Structure 1
Amino acid sequence: MSLQHYLQLAYKESRLTSAADLAAFQHVTGTLQRGRENLILVYGGSFNPPHRGHIDVLLSGLAPSVGALGIVVLPSEDFHLRHKVAKSHPEFFLRMERRAEIWAAIVPAHSRDRVWVWASTWYPFKTFTDALVRLTKADGFELAFSHLIGPDNVNPDDPLDILPYRLPRILVSNRGRHVATGFSSDGSPTVWKGFGEWSRCANDKGQAEDSDTVLWTCVGADGARGYYLQSAGPAYADISSTNLREMFVRSQGLDEGRLNQLSTETLLGFLAPMLP
């Protein structure tokens, strides 16, 4: 059965029936499978603005070793973003709908059939996830949601404590940024509170992943599960949304009023050097 079919039912049950809401996932083509866990990643963040490091993390979540059915990009609410940037160039402020518009435009074409952008508020999101899990389970499918985050956002004392809602899975990808303190001397990720030791996953042939990408997994209480996608590819330690905001404010004189009056095409023009 197609994922899109259940997405439509869950969106409507969450009272997200506007043309924009329903159009957000019409390109998604995933198919649920019985006898396995169908994983949907939730890639949340401020994305003020999005950049190539964000896209690298997104694409790493679609790696075959992860086996994700799809990814929903979840820009943070405006009230949360205002609090976050209060002391770091608050004049550069893209409203939630603008960040969603930018994301919808920059997802690489070859991945758009597995990615959609949540353009509504956070409030119906839990209703949506609960509905989707229940609707698919009624038809014999096992579906689970997992956070997708970068290593700089991991709280080892409570890794599942991520806005806006706790999910039973978390996938950490260092494809966009490497944090050395996230790993032990033997090369495995550091142990999180409430979780067991990490195990290196095997691929479909029963062998460890190649040296370019290693997937680790650990198990926590109440069925929680953690994943760490360790990549040997380039990590953009020199790029961050904070640094980009500072650059745009100084070089372009951009502020909240102007930013949110510009067309999406013009915004993409400003961001082009920071995108793949």
Structure 2
Amino acid sequence: MGQKQSKQTPSAHSKQVSKKKSNRGPRNGQRPERVELTPYIHIALSSLRQEFSDFTAPEHIFTSHANFLAPALVRGRKNRIILYAGHFNPPHIGHKLLLAHTMFRNPLDGVIAAIVIPMDDDIVREKLEEAGKNTSIILSKDDRIRLFRDALLDPWCWFFPGGLEHQSTFFDQLRRAAKYDGFELDYVIICGPDWVSSEKGCYAWECGGTDVVVGDALRPASFRVRRGLNFPSPQTPYSPKYPL
């Protein structure tokens, strides 16, 4: 007699992915070649709610637009999401232009959406205090998001509602959920030149990103290259004071 195998109970994550997948796939059982990104974001948010009981997130992700296709994962290629973290106190036109330039004019293939990650209020205050700057005008995170939002950005840009303690879980689960359905997902990091150097590397490795866009509009970079910068080995990652 063969040994009886115990039936493993699927995790909450796998249940959610299976449920989403059953609603997305065609009736013949074949996996679709293109699937909207929004359901996968909701799966990752559900993981946060399970790990952090006090975490809340809005149901709305991307705004539909007649002239812009909803962000979607495509099978058989690397799908990339831009991650843009910062204090944004306040957000200004330079932030929006850098984000739009990275979205539409970068040399990378498969960039499908952007996630902006405003830092929490206490981190903004700490940075200003350390720099000896005036802390009397600190916009709340909600106000900074409202000022950053734009009708031209909303169809492909979403603002992450969590804090530093939520980021690792969310972005790991988002990649896992996509991989579960056979989609390859990677992150493109936007950062300033103070977060990257040819000697220390870049904090993009901390969240698994491999591509980095450095904007030097507000402060000069210590390097200038034509076709990219060769960083040291990821085994010795750069750890900034305010990591992603």
**Would you say same fold, with TM above 0.5?**
yes
**1:93 and 2:120 matched:** no
Distance 1:80 1:135, change over 3 A: same
Partner Cα separation in structure 2 for residue 178 and residue 124 of structure 1: 29
Taking a change above 3 Å as real, the CA distance of residues 2 and 98 of structure 1, as seen in their structure-2 partners, is: same
CA deviation vs aligned residue, 1:202-259 (integer Å, no higher than 9, x gap): xxxxxxxxxxxxxxxxxx669x9xxxxxxxxxxxxxxxxxxxxxxxxxxxxxxxxxxx
| Contact kept in structure 2, 1:54 and 1:176, CA below 8 Å | no
The match for 2:38 is 4
Q: Aligned-pair RMSD on alpha carbons?
A: 3.1
Alignment equivalent of 1:22, drawn from 58, 61, 71:
58
Q: Which amino acid aligns with 2:41?
A: L
Work out the CA distance in 1 between the residues paired with 2:139 and 2:215.
Answer: 25
| Consecutive unaligned residues in structure 1, runs of 5 or more | 195-219, 225-276
Contact 1:40–1:69, Cα closer than 8 Å, also in 2: yes
Q: Given the two structures, how large is their TM-score scaled by the length of structure 1?
A: 0.60
Cα distance, 1:140 vs structure 2: 0.6
Contact persistence 2:92–2:148 (CA under 8 A): no
The Cα offsets for residues 106-164 of structure 1, whole Å up to 9 and x where unpaired, read as: x3x2332110111232222211111111111111100112321233432333333269x
Does the 8 A contact of 1:144 with 1:168 survive in 2? yes
Higher Rg of the two aligned structures? 2
Q: Does the CA-based 8 Å contact 1:24-1:117 persist in structure 2?
A: no
Counterpart Cα distance in 1 of 2:184 and 2:143: 34
Q: Is the CA contact 1:8–1:22 (under 8 Å) kept in the aligned structure 2?
A: no
Q: Which residue identity is paired with 2:232?
A: K
Aligned match for 1:155, one of 185, 190, 197:
197
Is 1:116 the counterpart of 2:158 in the alignment? Answer: yes
- Mapped to 1, the partners of 2:74 and 2:198 lie a distance apart of 33
Give me the whole-angstrom Cα distance separating, in 2, the residues matched to 1:76 and 1:19.
16
2:177 aligned residue: 135
Q: Which runs of 4+ in 1 moved over 6 A?
A: 16-20
The alpha carbon displacement at 1:21 in A equals 2.0
Shift in alpha-carbon separation, 1:126–1:162, aligned structure 2, 3 A: same
